[in-house]
Structure 1
Amino acid sequence: MQDVWPTVRSERLALIADLEGLTAEQWATPSLCSGWTVHDVLAHIVATAKTSRLGFVRQFARARFDFDRFTANGVERERADTPAETLDRLRAALDRTVTPPAPLDSRLVEMIVHGEDIRRPLGITREYPADAVADALRLQIRTTAGFGGGKELVAGLTLVADDAEFTAGSGPQVRGPLLSLLLIASARGIAAADLHGDGLDTLRQRLGSGVA
């Protein structure tokens, strides 16, 4: 497995650069994460960047082993009074290499998928390293929905990237940009507009029925 931390650091830096100078209205923009603003997603990224394996166990216990409560607590903890302060907290965590108890490639999912949760509603584009997107996608398609993945969503389908050498799965094809395949495997339905293939209708149905 590649060392993910240089990529994670570069993605943290890129996100900081993209968010500097946002207006108050932009910070309040709804993200791709239901119920969360752009500022909320940033706070979640900070919380995860600061959470070690031991810290996760402690915080999860405090949340009474409720993952949604655990996540909400992290956002509340790291969402400062102003977005600028929250952004400073990400700067302070720039070089941190701790992780919750999850595969290291989940750190790539965190920065790329949540990066898009923020960027797409703001109309900001970024070209991510293709190898990192591919590794994140491989993790998502073998991770169950209960842990934030898309295993059930893409079961029985073949994902094919039109812009990279990536093919995974078997069955009817869903084709499109590698990044959009990662987003759809992370249950971001907005990415379906970028995709095509004879498996797309099945994927849309699953998204609509809440499979992921």
Structure 2
Amino acid sequence: MTRTADEYWELIHAERARVALMLDGLTAQQWHADSLCGEWTVQQVVAHLTAAANTGRWAWLRSILFAGFNPDRHNARRLAEHLGRTVDETRENFRRSVTLTIAPTRDYPAWLGEVIVHGQDIARPLGITFTPDPDAVREVATYFAAKDFAVNSHRMVKGLTLEASDTDFAAGSGPLVRGPLLSLVMVMAGRSEFLTDVDDDGVAELRRRIG
């Protein structure tokens, strides 16, 4: 089933709202804890999500141009623009962005994946069980397995078969990697912490690729 733009935005808004609800329950110490996203803290990941929700096509083009086409420099600059002076300000900046319909391209599954992956980047190291909508996870898994965009997800699993243990999702061909669909999404996004959730013949190769 091909979703409309409005349907994708409904999924994106629902996942942002889910993240916002999780953030409401965090302590000050948790906001300053490390995430799974590089060297960013939880607060910085939230600011990055806010930046993503506020960056349209021309703003993205200007930013990446002035960053010398360096995505890390681009992301750092945009993050800094939306990082509050306090945790409460950062949280409020994100909350105001939940229902925005701004994106630099029409790759809606990628922007949905941005929210789902970074939600886990926050939750996993804090020991929080955080479960996105299964339909949203399936949209991201299908997209990630087929295309490189914000992450090199297709390249990560090329020549491997992915099979979900909790639904009927399958993609690719080659040695098998089997596990919960959300964990498959996270390993496609390069998160080695989720390798413990998957198994079968293809895991060793996937581990090598993630590094």
Distance 1:151 1:9 in 2: 25
Q: What do the CA deviations read for 1:15-66 (whole angstroms, capped 9, x no partner)?
A: 1111114222111111001110000100000000000111111221222222
1:201 aligns with 2:199: no
> Displacement of 1:127 after TM fit?
2.2
2:158 equivalent to 1:152? no
Cα distance in 1 for residues equivalent to 2:106 and 2:152: 12
Distance in 1 between the 2:27 and 2:165 partners? 35
Counterpart contact for 1:4–1:107, Cα < 8 Å: no
Q: Which runs of 5+ in 2 are unaligned?
A: none
SS, match of residue 76 in structure 2: helix
| One of 86, 93, 101 as aligned partner of 1:89 | 93
**In the alignment, which of 9, 17, 35 is matched to residue 5 of structure 1?**
9
Alignment gaps of 5+ in structure 1: none
**1:180 counterpart letter in structure 2:** S
Report percent identity of matched pairs. Answer: 39
Is 53-62 or 166-175 further displaced after alignment?
Answer: 53-62
Mapped contact 1:141–1:151 kept (Cα < 8 A): yes
Q: What residue in structure 1 maps to residue 164 of structure 2?
A: 161
AA aligned opposite 2:181: L
Counterpart Cα distance in 2 of 1:131 and 1:35:
30
What is the match of residue 183 of structure 2? 180
User: Quick one: distance in 1 between partners of 2:9 and 2:150?
Assistant: 21
Of residues 45, 49, 65, the one that matches 2:49 is 45
Report SS of the residue matched to 2:13: helix
- Distance in 1 between residues matched to 2:40 and 2:31, nearest whole Å: 11
- In 2, the alpha carbon distance for the partners of 1:164 and 1:203 equals 21
* Greater helix share, structure number: 2
Q: Does 1:107 align with 2:101?
A: no
Using structure 1 for the length normalisation, give the TM-score.
0.93
In structure 2, give the amino acid aligned to 1:124: I
Q: 1 CA distance for matches of 2:106 and 2:60?
A: 10
Q: Which amino acid aligns with 1:170?
A: S
Q: Count residues with an aligned counterpart.
A: 207
Paired with 1:51 and 1:61, the residues of 2 have a C-alpha distance of: 14
Query: What amino acid sits opposite 1:91 in the alignment?
Result: R
Residue type of the partner of 1:46?
T
TM (norm. structure 2) is 0.93
The match for 2:19 is 15
2:129 is aligned with what amino acid? T
